[in-house]
Amino acid sequence: MAACSVEELLAKAEAQEAETLKSISVQKELDLEFDIGNLLACDKNRIEPRDLREKSKEDFLRALARDNTQLLVNEIWKQPTERVEEAIVAKLPEPTTRLPREKLPPKPRPPTKWEQFAKLKGIKKKKKTNLVWDETAKEWKRRWGYKRAGDDTKEWLIEVPESADPNEDQFAKRVKAKKERVAKNELNRLKNIARSQKVKIPAITLTPKASQSKDELARAESVAKTSTASLGRFQDRLPKENPAKKGKKRKFEPLIGNFSNEKQKQLELLKVMDTKKPKLDITKAVNKQMRQEDREEAAAKHKKAAGKKGRKGGSMGGKPRGKGGKGKKAAGGGGGKRRGKPGKR
């Protein structure tokens, strides 16, 4: 009898255990796709439209939801857990679903002018301490900022240096110097930003200054006038202002006009190309010669002053060669280059 009851008990216990084990298992045709990082589960199984009859719709949906949630929870419980202040916490992996971002990823800041230079030279930043020992106040103060260690604008006594004007206000001078430094820093910061965003800034001669000379003002004014859509042709003029100088307008022959003229021109061109004699541009040759003579005189003076001896410049001997000797179009010559033996190529 006892054996029977024991068997019964065992059978009952087994049945119960099977029951509980069954309770967390769910049968599905297709496995679900999980994204534990987002606590997400996707069920791709087909849903029969007949299951969604009006009466049992809610129950069907609830049963479906229960099954899917059970599978999701089974997956979540497989994650590694740890205990954090009397609560059991499961560590989630990274979310795998790709979702669009809110904003574009941040662009790295382009280096400033100083940073580029430092990189080029290999200058590294030295880590400085935040606090500096201030002797006068006998305490640790900030290196810069509010109530800093060596604030020279806050001094109550400044010795007037010997070279300075006795009536000059040294305190005002210091304050002004600081203001100028701040303004310079601000200007450099804005320039860095403009360079990084590739915004065009006007050249330094055109930026407004405290006192500009007459030429600078005139130049700035003319640039401003011509920077309109019609290149300043319809801008009003001041009563005594001179009208803008018209540039030389090039003239061209019409395309199909004078046939004999064209024929003449082309024959001449061919003749010039054919000749073996070099062509001579008299003005250019004369100018070149004059320039060279000036250069030689200057060099001679310089050498005399320096006191160097024995300079046998080939050009010294080759001076009075004349026009024929030069003989080539200035295209080959180039400005300012001295030839060892002029006339020979």
Both structure tokens of 14? 């087994």
User: CB of 288 within 8 A of CB of 326?
Assistant: yes
What contacts 86, CB < 8 A, 6 or more positions away?
A: none
45: helix, strand or coil: coil
CB of 9 to another protein, least distance (A): 17
Which is closer to another protein, CB of 193 or CB of 267? 193
CB of 144 to another protein, least distance (A): 16
Which is closer to another protein, CB of 102 or CB of 165? 102
Which is closer to another protein, CB of 24 or CB of 270? 24
| Distance in angstroms (rounded) separating the CA atoms of residues 10 and 183 | 91
Residue 31 — φ and ψ, nearest 5°? Answer: -70, 150
CB of 82 to another protein, least distance (A): 8
Which is closer to another protein, CB of 24 or CB of 217? 24
- Buried (b) or exposed (e) across 278-307, using 16+ Cβ within 10 A? eeeeeeebeebbeebeeebeeeeeeeeeee
CB of 96 to another protein, least distance (A): 11
Which is closer to another protein, CB of 112 or CB of 170? 112
CB of 115 to another protein, least distance (A): 15
- Buried (b) or exposed (e) across 91-113, using 16+ Cβ within 10 A? eeeeeeeeeeeeeeeeeeeeebe
Among all chains, which residue has been given the structure tokens 């001041």? 238
How buried is 14 (Cβ within 10 angstroms: 0-12 exposed, 13-18 middle, 19+ buried)? exposed
Which is closer to another protein, CB of 9 or CB of 47? 47
Which is closer to another protein, CB of 42 or CB of 286? 42
CB of 330 to another protein, least distance (A): 51
CB of 70 to another protein, least distance (A): 5
Which is closer to another protein, CB of 197 or CB of 275? 197
CB of 34 to another protein, least distance (A): 10
Which is closer to another protein, CB of 109 or CB of 143? 109
Q: Which residues bind another protein (CB under 8 A)?
A: 17, 20-21, 23-24, 37-47, 49, 52, 58, 61-62, 64-66, 68-70, 72-74, 76-77, 81-82, 84, 87-92, 95, 97-106, 190, 193, 197
Determine the straight-line distance between the first and last CA of the chain, rounded to whole angstroms: 134
CB of 95 to another protein, least distance (A): 6
148: helix, strand or coil: strand
Both structure tokens of 100? 């669009």
- Which residue pairs from 69-74 have beta carbons closer than 8 angstroms and sit at least 24 positions apart in sequence? 69/41, 70/24, 70/26, 71/26, 71/28, 71/32, 71/41, 72/32, 72/34, 72/39, 72/41, 74/24
